[in-house]
């Protein structure tokens, strides 16, 4: 993004986003993250088309209005099923639908979706075209730079050309290959080498296509550095493990104040939502598990995590348990300052 673009206020919707992460970015997590950044784009966990079409939709797709802008990530490879699922996503109020072309798990491969679709760019293009024909919201793709023995240049270029022709609104590229045989999904997040320059070259070749980069980014300084080359950055594990990092997103990347002054204020802002969910029968741990790393690096952080991971697991745990955990950080800070 150029300085002129930023000055004009024409900021890409994908300038900063939190990655879709299975078992992590559920609706409680997204509400909490929204309290830390008003501008970040948030993504659901991946949901398969079969689950959307035949499963309990409200449980799978329901979200709170305060999460917006929030995108639904879909897993699938049948164009018509994806079109139907995208239409349902639009009816639910999602701001975007994203197609997963990056997950390397065996289950995903068995279903012929995720990263293995890097080998079938024409099919991915057909999927995007079907979704674009079904909805008015943006349709995006999250992919790898290639899989297994593919040449990353040829693989990524072929996929990009196919989805561009189909009308894709943005491409999010995890700047690593995925090895579908021999590496676990966890290993696929670390072992294949990162190649940010490959994503930068892609953006230069397609200046009018919004391109965001994902993979291995740990700090907002690193994210800001990437914005000299691409339209957006997507952080995953770093944002989840150190959620206070998100308090810097709006000031640093958008020139806007953070919605909470500090992590303590974020906890207070989260309380009304938590109280409402507790009244509905949601367990405290379902919400506090997403904030365990909030005070990392501060005195008392270990006690905070331990208390929420033990007392917070009890079926009877309520907001007083959270207050006890936060008090450990407050006391430790006072003792450190004494």
Coil, strand or helix: which one is 56?
coil
Indicate if 143 belongs to the active site.
no
Structure tokens, 57: 């939709």
Residue 87, annotated as binding a ligand: no
The answer to whether 150 and 159 are in contact (CB under 8 A) is no
**DSSP code, position 137:** S
Q: Where are the beta strands (DSSP E) in 202-288?
A: 211-214, 232-235
Q: CA angle, 169 as apex, 168 and 171 as ends, to 5°?
A: 80
Residue 274, annotated as binding a ligand: no
Residue 287, annotated as binding a ligand: no
**DSSP code, position 250:** I
Residue 215, annotated as binding a ligand: yes
Structure tokens, 233: 């950055």
Residue 167, annotated as binding a ligand: no
Residue 237, annotated as binding a ligand: yes
The answer to whether 79 and 294 are in contact (CB under 8 A) is no
One of 103, 116, 127, 143 is an active-site residue; which one?
A: 103
**DSSP code, position 236:** -
Q: CA angle, 10 as apex, 9 and 16 as ends, to 5°?
A: 100
Residue 50, annotated as binding a ligand: no
Residue 236, annotated as binding a ligand: yes
Could you tell me which residues are annotated as the binding site for FMN?
20-22, 73, 142, 174, 214-216, 236-237
Residues with a catalytic annotation lie at: 103
Could you tell me which residues are annotated as the binding site?
20-22, 73, 142, 174, 214-216, 236-237
């Amino acid at each position: 993004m150029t300085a002129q673009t930023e000055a004009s206020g024409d900021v890409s919707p994908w300038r900063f986003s939190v990655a879709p992460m299975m078992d992590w970015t559920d609706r409680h997590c997204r509400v909490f993250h929204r309290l830390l950044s008003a501008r970040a784009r948030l993504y659901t966990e991946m949901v398969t088309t079969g689950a959307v079409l035949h499963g309990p939709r409200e449980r799978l797709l329901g979200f709170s209005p305060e999460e917006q802008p929030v995108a639904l990530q879909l897993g699938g490879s049948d164009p018509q099923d994806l079109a139907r699922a995208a239409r349902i996503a639009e009816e639910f109020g999602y701001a975007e639908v994203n197609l997963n072309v990056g997950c390397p798990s065996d289950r995903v491969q068995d279903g012929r979706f995720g990263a293995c679709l890097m080998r079938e760019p024409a099919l991915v293009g057909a999927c995007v075209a079907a979704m674009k024909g079904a909805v008015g919201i943006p349709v995006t793709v999250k992919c790898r730079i290639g899989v297994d023995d593919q040449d990353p240049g040829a693989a990524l270029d072929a996929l990009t050309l196919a989805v561009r022709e189909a009308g894709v609104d943005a491409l999010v590229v995890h700047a690593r290959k995925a090895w579908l045989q021999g590496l676990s999904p966890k290993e696929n997040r670390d072992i294949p080498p990162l190649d940010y320059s490959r994503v930068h070259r892609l953006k230069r070749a397609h200046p009018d296509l919004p391109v965001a980069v994902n993979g291995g980014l740990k700090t907002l300084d690193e994210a800001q550095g990437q914005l000299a080359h691409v339209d957006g950055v997507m952080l995953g594990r770093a944002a989840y493990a150190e959620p206070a990092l998100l308090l810097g997103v709006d000031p640093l990347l958008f020139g806007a104040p953070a919605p909470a002054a500090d992590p303590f204020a974020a906890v207070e802002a989260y309380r009304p939502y938590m109280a409402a969910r507790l009244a509905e029968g949601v367990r405290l741990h379902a919400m506090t598990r997403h904030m365990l790393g909030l005070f990392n690096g501060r005195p008392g952080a270990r006690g905070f995590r331990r208390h929420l991971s033990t007392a917070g697991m009890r079926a009877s745990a309520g907001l007083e348990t959270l207050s006890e955990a936060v008090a450990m950080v407050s006391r430790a800070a006072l003792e450190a300052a004494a």
